[in-house]
Structure 1
């Protein structure tokens, strides 16, 4: 076998071996067996929330196991393919093997990033809020572009998205939107998207065609679970009900079913209008509020621990530029990762940015 190819295959095998050790394949198989046992119980769906949790975890663990064992099998087969191709002098088979090696390298690198997600809440669903910031109508339009970007990213991966609340701007775009991405490790994966995003372009809303800079903020928190125990005193809540509305103030329904909760001690405001029932909207809004309060507590605890240490990783700072004029580029200011195709990025192709962000975060934490 070609020495360079052999060295590359050995390196890929070593990387995959590290991944297998981190994922603990024996432990993973035991988890799958236990979850399969729970899923087979006849009374599983008596508690729908628990049933959904069990089936989701089972599908996720089975997927992890299939993915890593499949990569190992393909890597073993690839070594055999190279040997046969070289023995027979088959240029077509060699080209096929080279293509497979490139695919394996990318898939193993992607899986390696997943093993870096070891935070307390990384396995959970993500609750994301996108807000228009400085820049007027362009900022509202940019916020809607980011909402679409994350929705398209989730769609590409087959992850369900629930939009809890959208506040539309008067002329175009949105003031804010809150949505949930339902996928294993969604929080750990998307948390690196938190921060201020900046757009530079010729404004479609400026009749003189001037260049405009606008900003949108992205907040990412983990979805709370019943074990988190975020206690909220009813006396600390102000509850407002109102009629759900769509773009341009168009009524979505004819009853006051939308709910806005204000947590008086912290000033946190959340709302939900995606359900027909006021009771359902209040329950969903309460879950969002609990998630935000949990994240606030986590941030406060982290700030206390980091009080004497400047980590240089303030999430509130500008973290990515999207330039549509005078040139085409998207650049992450933390990782230096950049691409020259903003339209693809805004259409949801952000995996490279996310993976670079996860690696950068791990390096800054070490």
Structure 2
């Protein structure tokens, strides 16, 4: 690549970074970081543990986003200097390294640019994720646990706090269901493209005849509720059950009936929480999740009505959305976007950014098509 070509590429990168900076509104993020820093320094912060967790999580996530942007901006500056020196000295090896770094930076900028596509009403919220084992017996329960690990590892990679509300363990292996929150700005907008049915094909480790097994798990993502959201729940519509918290294999992890299950009778929505120490705390946490799910259901019904009025009879994109095939060949493929990888293990270890970015771009395209 010649010098003028590098100049053009770097100018395009700077223009894209400038657009991203405007959309992210870095000055506003810096002001919020300063305000949160003052709150974190307060001696009575941890008197309210729920609020303290929210404040520290928000601060960590915002700092991570600003650091990511500034680090990428620094890489563009370094690249420009590297190209300038290599061109002056006629250093072919440095120019080759510059070209490789240019490719890496372009990918990183594209990933950051995806954030600018998250402009939905609730996209900037934190996310509440629910995973349920589907058809496939013990393999489905094991697959559900693999998916939970995948999302929590993704959060760890990005330094996003995770709060587990409830895990219902299966008898032999894996989990029947799990509910957890990812405490980061735009977690909902990012992870909402994961909603739907996930399918695993592999040689079952639980089949003594070594047969191939197909199993399914469902993923649901709803936005974290905020105080300004208007959603009322009649206490008469909610059945409250208390039970003893448990761990793998039914092992008791609590000697009192502190876990709480809420059932919203009109809709059939069930929410459990056993993460907190007291029944009262678990009930409050479960109510927050229940309200979030009711709000999401309300919005989904409104969106479906709008589509009906437009005569749109297309199936929802959220069903049967991704295949994870480990045998007879290895591939993870998104059925909506076509994005795929032939190396499933990093995906199960939380390397899902490529799928998330492809899903967000696909969804934006679908929204534009619906608007026309």
After TM superposition, is the score higher than 0.5? yes
Partner of 1:215: 216
User: 1:294 aligned to 2:289?
Assistant: no
> Would you say the 8 A contact 1:35–1:54 is kept in 2?
no
Partner of 1:36: 34
Structure 2 counterparts to residues 221-300 of structure 1, below 5 A? 221-300=222-301
> Would you say the 8 A contact 1:133–1:217 is kept in 2?
yes
Structure 1 pair 168–34 and aligned structure 2 pair: CA distance change class (3 A): closer
Partner of 1:206: 207
Structure 1 pair 50–126 and aligned structure 2 pair: CA distance change class (3 A): same
Q: Could you say what secondary structure the match of 1:228 adopts? A: coil
Structure 1 pair 189–274 and aligned structure 2 pair: CA distance change class (3 A): same
**Higher mean displacement: 303-312 or 226-235:** 303-312
**Higher mean displacement: 303-312 or 327-336:** 303-312
Quote the offset at 1:95 in angstroms.
3.5
Distance 1:153 1:97 in 2: 29
> Would you say the 8 A contact 2:58–2:183 is kept in 1?
no
Structure 2 counterparts to residues 99-110 of structure 1, below 5 A? 99-110=100-111
Distance 1:53 1:123 in 2: 15
> Would you say the 8 A contact 1:39–1:51 is kept in 2?
no
Structure 1 pair 105–291 and aligned structure 2 pair: CA distance change class (3 A): same
Structure 1 pair 259–34 and aligned structure 2 pair: CA distance change class (3 A): closer
Q: Could you say what secondary structure the match of 1:200 adopts? A: strand
Distance 1:161 1:353 in 2: 20
Structure 1 pair 70–327 and aligned structure 2 pair: CA distance change class (3 A): closer
Structure 2 counterparts to residues 26-175 of structure 1, below 5 A? 28-30=26-28, 32-33=30-31, 36-37=34-35, 39-40=37-38, 45=44, 48=48, 56-57=57-58, 60-175=61-176
**TM-score between both structures, scaled by the size of structure 2:** 0.90
Distance 2:165 2:240 in 1: 16
Q: Could you say what secondary structure the match of 2:321 adopts? A: strand
> Would you say the 8 A contact 2:259–2:279 is kept in 1?
yes
User: 1:329 aligned to 2:327?
Assistant: no
Distance 2:146 2:71 in 1: 36
Quote the offset at 1:67 in angstroms.
3.7
Distance 2:362 2:313 in 1: 12
Partner of 1:318: 320
Q: What are structure 2's unaligned runs of at least 5 residues? A: none
Quote the offset at 1:255 in angstroms.
0.7
Q: Could you say what secondary structure the match of 1:221 adopts? A: strand
> Would you say the 8 A contact 1:240–1:260 is kept in 2?
yes
Distance 1:38 1:290 in 2: 26
Quote the offset at 1:43 in angstroms.
6.8
Measured against aligned partners, the alpha-carbon deviations of 1:260-306 in whole angstroms (never above 9, x if no partner) come to 11111111111111122111111111111011011011111111212
**Higher mean displacement: 129-138 or 93-102:** 93-102
Distance 2:56 2:174 in 1: 37
C-alpha RMSD of matched pairs (Å): 2.3
Quote the offset at 1:168 in angstroms.
1.3
Distance 1:129 1:189 in 2: 15
Q: Could you say what secondary structure the match of 1:137 adopts? A: helix
Q: What are structure 1's unaligned runs of at least 5 residues? A: none
Structure 1 pair 73–208 and aligned structure 2 pair: CA distance change class (3 A): closer
| Alignment coverage as a number of residue pairs | 363
Structure 1 pair 254–69 and aligned structure 2 pair: CA distance change class (3 A): closer
**Higher mean displacement: 238-247 or 38-47:** 38-47
Q: Could you say what secondary structure the match of 1:285 adopts? A: helix
Distance 1:207 1:38 in 2: 55
Q: Could you say what secondary structure the match of 2:252 adopts? A: coil
